[in-house]
Structure 1
Amino acid sequence: MGKLQLADVENEYKKFPELKREDVQKIREWMEKQPHLPKITDLEIILFLHSNYHRIESTKTTIDSFYTCRTHVPEFFDARDITSRELHTVMDLVTIIPLSIPTKDKYTVIFGKLLISDATLFSFESTLKFLTMIAEVVQRENGAVHGYTFVLDMEGVTMGHVTKLSIGTVKKFLHFLQEAMPVRLKGIHLTNVVPFIDKILILIKPFMKKELLAILHLHSTNESLYPFVQRDCLTSELGGKAGSLMTLRDNFNMHMVEARDYLLEEEKKKAIEEKRPGKPKDSGSIFGMEGNFKKLDID
């Protein structure tokens, strides 16, 4: 795949005529008056604008939320060296890859699956960290797209995985996904759903807005997935034309390693609360009374 190739800003204006240079400039001028926020590129501003359907005020809110999360959720946004033991372990245990063939609605598919089912080796925090890193690389290379659809194959998921998931992790990640991630999320599809999916939903539903619940789909077989994500979009193991899962995974993981320097530089971009106009934010004000989040206790 080669080294990181950032999307061309001029091409972004051609792809989406509703994207206006004056709106990018408005966001740029606003950010210059926010001493707590980092300097960001025009491409990043475009991604935030696009994810908010070019609404200026909601774009400002998303930008602030994004860099605030980077400061207050270190388990996702610190220590992001892709060559570290932590992330090497994640890449051995799971595959998370963008697929090359979009859906009929022009949505980009992100496919995820466990490769090794041993729950004792698994960390949700590290896996979600890896996912946020992938999202940054994919978005900055693709530029603005019509939308993203996540397909998560639950084959191999056990109760051991579920009991390792803390309410705090769920709450923080869903906050980031819904309030801060610069993405037009069009679908979350869980395939090969496990018999205990109801217990997982009990854990996550309280933190999901109705808009997110509306795009969450459960599939016991792939047949009900195909109206949303067509068979051709999927890997060859699933009857599609995207290529072999393990080949795609090996190539993409190598690409993530090649993006190491970029990701480490991006890690520095965070909100500096001491410089925030008005009252600084803390985890309690963002996520509620935190205390000690207990892990899910299932009979």
Structure 2
Amino acid sequence: MADTGKYLVITPEEMAYVRKQLGTNEEDIKTAVTSLREWLRMQPHLPDAVDDSFIERMYINSKCSMEKVKLGLDAYFSLKHRFPELLMNRDIEGSDFQFAKKHLKMMVMPRLTKDAYRVHVLTAVDEDSTNVIWPLYGKILTTRLEIMLVEDYSLGDVGIIDLANVNAGHIVRADINLVRNIEVCYQTAYRRRLKGLHLVNASKIIHSVMKIVKMALSEKLQKRVFAHLPGSTTLFDYVQRDCVPDELGGTAGPADNFAYKVREMVNSEWLLEKDKYMSDESKRPADNHYGDIYGIAGSFKKLSVD
């Protein structure tokens, strides 16, 4: 892993705030991590291939629920079988990733919001829809989540999608199943929580976008999607301006200052090493109920949003 901690800004005060909001403290976290590591070692089908900081962040992401962390740890290793196109072979230095960076800007803003949420932005979509390969951006998204699982410390996420250049061609090429699969990975393997998804510069195309949202996202997540018309400032009723790039009306600075910066915190070798660690389903105990929720057969009806 490359040098870390130089882009995602998390102050001791913010870390303390997150813990306070979740009703936890250093002693509780240490006890939980010790217990969860022992549980992991007792699972014959799961590798013991995570460090304490990883478990701590999954504990925080799971609102300090031991049962949800166990679900998360199982999902983290087992969903690689179910969604290899999203969770495996993530060569961020390869030609595919380099191509993607030229046709759409994805970024994680370095500062937390005042209520300790992390802001994610998607903007500058290439108007030529044939240059936007959505499955590849899904893989880039999970790469980001992988890094944040060892680097971030927040209460969840706020997403901002700029629809300014999105047209019918992009809509036709959209894959509803891909969106659903990303949601499963987001909620289970990474235990992230989405506070709100904001569609900015929403115009005539918004009706088509919302149709996809309703078909692809769970009912709870649908209620957390907000549309903002071109020229409006309603986004800032939800997100402070210093967490939004200049191009979208914020004051954080140009989008180019942030696009793909989180990806620069690691190298391909670190990510590809993750491919070695996955569940061995032949060793999953017959009475293990986690596989019923998101195992290889993959019945996702029981999933819910925290």
Q: TM-score range by the shorter chain?
A: 0.7 to 0.9
In structure 1, distance between residues paired with 2:134 and 2:248: 25
1:134 Cα offset (Å): 1.4
**What letter is aligned with 1:271?**
S
**How big is each residue's C-alpha offset from its partner over 1:244-282, in whole Å with a ceiling of 9 and x where there is no partner?**
1123327x17715x4322212223332222222228776
In structure 2, distance between residues paired with 1:47 and 1:180: 12
Number of the residue aligned with 2:157: 148
Q: Are 2:208 and 1:199 aligned?
A: yes
**How big is each residue's C-alpha offset from its partner over 1:164-219, in whole Å with a ceiling of 9 and x where there is no partner?**
12232122122222333222322211111242333333333244333322322111
**What letter is aligned with 2:118?**
T
In structure 1, distance between residues paired with 2:61 and 2:295: 25
Contact 2:61/2:155, CA 8 A, preserved across alignment: no
Q: 1:267 to 1:57 in 2, by over 3 A?
A: same
Count matched residues.
281
Number of the residue aligned with 2:298: 285
Q: 1:200 to 1:45 in 2, by over 3 A?
A: same
Partner of 2:233, secondary structure, is: helix
Unaligned runs of 5+ in 1: 289-299
Q: 1:170 to 1:238 in 2, by over 3 A?
A: closer
**How big is each residue's C-alpha offset from its partner over 1:123-155, in whole Å with a ceiling of 9 and x where there is no partner?**
11100100111122234222x213221111112
**How big is the alpha-carbon RMSD for the aligned residues of Structure 1 and Structure 2?**
2.7
Q: 1:127 to 1:254 in 2, by over 3 A?
A: closer
In structure 1, distance between residues paired with 2:267 and 2:5: 10
* Equivalent residue for 2:91, pick from 62, 75, 81: 81
Number of the residue aligned with 2:123: 113
Number of the residue aligned with 2:146: 136
Number of the residue aligned with 2:284: 276
Q: Are 2:59 and 1:46 aligned?
A: no
In structure 2, distance between residues paired with 1:65 and 1:84: 27
Number of the residue aligned with 2:41: 32
**What letter is aligned with 2:156?**
G
Name the % identity: 26
Number of the residue aligned with 2:101: 91
In structure 2, distance between residues paired with 1:196 and 1:146: 31
In structure 1, distance between residues paired with 2:42 and 2:140: 32
**What letter is aligned with 2:104?**
V
Q: Are 2:220 and 1:211 aligned?
A: yes
In structure 2, distance between residues paired with 1:211 and 1:69: 22
Q: Are 2:66 and 1:56 aligned?
A: yes
Matches within 5 A, 1:199-278: 199-221=208-230, 222-249=232-259, 252=261, 255-256=264-265, 258-278=266-286
TM-score of the superposed pair, with normalisation by structure 1: 0.83
Shift >6 Å, 4+ stretches: none
1:76 Cα offset (Å): 0.6
Contact 1:47/1:183, CA 8 A, preserved across alignment: no
* Equivalent residue for 2:196, pick from 178, 187, 191: 187
Partner of 1:93, secondary structure, is: coil
In structure 2, distance between residues paired with 1:160 and 1:166: 12
Contact 1:235/1:242, CA 8 A, preserved across alignment: yes
In structure 2, distance between residues paired with 1:167 and 1:31: 34
Q: 1:156 to 1:165 in 2, by over 3 A?
A: same
In structure 2, distance between residues paired with 1:14 and 1:170: 33
**What letter is aligned with 1:264?**
L
In structure 1, distance between residues paired with 2:148 and 2:247: 23
**How big is each residue's C-alpha offset from its partner over 1:73-132, in whole Å with a ceiling of 9 and x where there is no partner?**
011112211111111111111111111233232222111113422111221110010011
In structure 1, distance between residues paired with 2:112 and 2:15: 21
TM-score of the superposed pair, with normalisation by structure 2: 0.81
